[in-house]
A and B are shown apart, each in its own frame.
Chain A
Amino acid sequence: MKEVDVLILGAGIYGLYSAMKLGELGKRITLLECDSAAFSRASYVNQARVHNGYHYPRSVSTASKSADYFQRFNEDFAFAINDKFKKVYALSSKFSYTNGEQFKKFCAYTGIPCREIDAGEYFNPGMIDAAFETEEFAFDAFKIRDYLLAQLKGMPNVEISYSSRIVKTEIEGEYYRLSLADGSEAKTPFVLNTTYASVNQVLELFGFDKFKIKYEICEIALCKPSKELSGLGLTVMDGPFFSVMPFGLDGTFSLTSVTFTPHVTSYSPLPTFKCQQVNTKCTPTNLDNCNNCKARPHTAWGFMSQLAKNYLRPDFSFTPTESLFAIKPILMASELDDSRPTVIREFSREPRFVSCLSGKINTVYDLNEVFG
């Protein structure tokens, strides 16, 4: 049986970052990942936005935290940051929960830059209440992944084990004794759960209370922008709107919409979806990767592009390339204010079990409190 100081679950950005930080402290670490590669799910399948807070005009706490980490993240991962585009946030004149005046006030309060510009430069007449040029960037998930993996490669005390799952857990004094699907066993005084959509599945396995979350199967539609659109990132908020912006560094854009990006919602404590009847490898206790799944939802490209078309000036067009899918857990407590807090909870002291749930890449630094 193998014994390690920390066993980390999930090779997304939170898992790899934890492994790097704890590895630097000299801990012996094993990182378990159920897919065959790192960054296969939500760390890759998202808007690739380095949040500076603009997204949360109704949750100043989420906004300030994002803004605090914005600079640090951009410096730490400078090689993966796309800051070569003009980021425009616009408030829809209809159905919005926030108007231009309120957004301006919110930015001033949070201390993030925003400069009002002429909405007519980008949007069709009558659609927009106010538009602002802001400072926000995009990241390239695979560049971050490769960097983190390269760091870990140089650490003999860190081992990543792909395609592996825990099937049984036992407590043995100050240790967890874990049986893996491949028949091997591991022993550790500290389990760090950095899975995302599987967070409750892991908690269930260890016998803890589950987070109150709902699950959404989300689609990120990738596309090629027209010449006029490239060099821009446009987000219309706060309500049933859309965002079209660079996805990483290679000129690809992502198109997402509040209404059409989430396809199916599950309100069960464990993610339960109809499509699991088709793909039986995916169960409420053991999620498969939506991206390679044959039963995944049909693309909503038609809806998202139509919505965007109604807002955008005609020369801002795009052609679809592919769609990515992932399951997103959303804390039920966040429904009202649309906040996206990072929740770090210690479920057990000895042996130690910590679970971390966060919806944003650049709040990864919240984890540092765990390593202390």
Chain B
Amino acid sequence: MKEKTFVSAVVYVYNAEKVIAGFLRELDTYLDSRYEIFEIILVNDYSVDETRQEIKMAAKDLKGTITVINLAWRHKKELAMLAGTDLAIGDFVFELESTRPDFSLNLLTDLYEKAVSGFDVVYAFPKDSTRFKSKLFYWLLNRLSHLNVDEHTETAKIVSRKALNRALLERGKVRYRKVLYKSGGFPTATLEYLPQRQSLGNDEMTLLQKLTLASDVFIVFSNIGTQVAMMFSAISLIVSVLIGVYAAYVYLSGQATISGWTTTMLFLSAGFAGIFLTLTIIAKYIGTILMEQRRGNLYTVEALDKISNK
């Protein structure tokens, strides 16, 4: 008995000429065996090999509906998957991060069942795979924001239409799906699996790109940046004022040893105090503007429980 739910599978594809045909057939057979109606959306992130032709050839004898989004230039995973999920129409959407998965597709069954048991987002990640760097990143992020993001790097997930719609409403330029889904406030769950084989390093970002993304995420999803700036400005402001007080004391007590020192110091401390005060105010403003700019909800409700005793 096939599921009646309409599901979409969004797959990130990049330079996958060798594997895409086999993967596509496998995915199509799997989905067809489980679901009455489904679609597959391939997001081809400007592959420079024969991936596009391979997809065309392979798609000819598939049972499902295949849509290929060919991006105009390299967009990287986050934006590419956004394009895919924007186009997906399913009630549930599978997001597959790679065409060389280190899991059997039956894992999608587990994801689906977990989701329908009451979770809007379910992540799957390989056991013991998380690297120290990502652990540190998520630890920091969770400390500095209200989010409680799982530290594992997931390879597949399922998202309900409800959670997807809310995440897609967020039109900010900085995209990090994991955090967006989390900030939707819906119940999430994780699934751990034993990788079938060594995952073929799907690390597609350079260290610099990772750092850029990480700092973007910090800036957008926490107020750490402006807080640090404000703190430094405030400390510097205090130091400047203290030096000013000291210079005034030296001047008034007539202990000045070098002529002109006190007036210079008074001028400098007054000037720096003014600058740091201005910086503090600007940092506060920027923080507030950033908050106002974000179009998301002002508050995020996880659930509404109505209790009536009548």
A residues lining the B interface (CB < 8 Å): 94-95, 124-126, 240, 259-260, 302-303, 306-307, 310
Contact = CB atoms under 8 A, between A and B. Distances in A.
A31 B37 CA distance: 44
A94 B165 CA distance: 13
Contacts of A125: 169
Interface of B: 6, 36-37, 39, 65, 67, 86-87, 89-91, 161, 165, 168-169
A94 B86 CA distance: 7
Contact of B37 (A126, A303, A310): A303
Given A126-B165, A126-B168, A259-B67, A306 B6 contact: yes
B65 A303 contact: yes
Nearest to B69: A95
A20 to B, nearest CB: 43
Contacts of B67: 259
Nearest to A94: B86
Given A124-B165, A302-B37, A95 B65 contact: no
B181 to A, nearest CB: 16
11 contacts: A125-B169, A126-B165, A126-B168, A126-B169, A240-B87, A259-B67, A302-B6, A302-B37, A303-B37, A303-B39, A303-B65
A240 B87 CA distance: 9
B89 A306 contact: yes
A294 B258 CA distance: 106
Nearest to B165: A126
A125 B162 CA distance: 12
A117 B47 CA distance: 41
A312 B249 CA distance: 74
A306 B86 contact: no
B89 A307 contact: yes
B34 to A, nearest CB: 15
A126 B296 CA distance: 12
A240 B39 CA distance: 14
A321 B169 CA distance: 34
A259 B65 CA distance: 10
A70 to B, nearest CB: 32
Nearest to A303: B65
B37 A95 contact: no
Given A94-B87, A124-B165, A306-B89, 8 more contacts: A94-B86, A95-B87, A126-B165, A126-B168, A126-B169, A260-B65, A306-B6, A306-B90
Contacts of B90: 306
B86 A310 contact: no
Contacts of B65: 260, 303
The 5 A-B pairs at the shortest CB distance, nearest first, are namely: A302-B37, A126-B169, A94-B86, A306-B6, A307-B89
A239 B65 CA distance: 17
Q: Which of A125, A306, A307 has the most CB of B within 10 A?
A: A306
Contacts of B37: 302-303, 306
Contacts of B87: 94-95, 240
A98 to B, nearest CB: 17
B39 to A, nearest CB: 7
A302 B90 CA distance: 11
B89 A310 contact: yes
Contacts of A126: 165, 168-169
Nearest to A301: B37
Contacts of B39: 303
Given A303-B37, A303-B39, A306-B6, A95 B86 contact: yes
A240 B169 CA distance: 19
A94 B65 CA distance: 20
Contacts of A306: 6, 37, 89-91
A94 B39 CA distance: 18
Contacts of A307: 89
Contacts of A310: 89, 161
Contacts of B168: 126
B40 to A, nearest CB: 12
Contacts of A240: 87
Contacts of B89: 303, 306-307, 310
Contacts of A259: 67
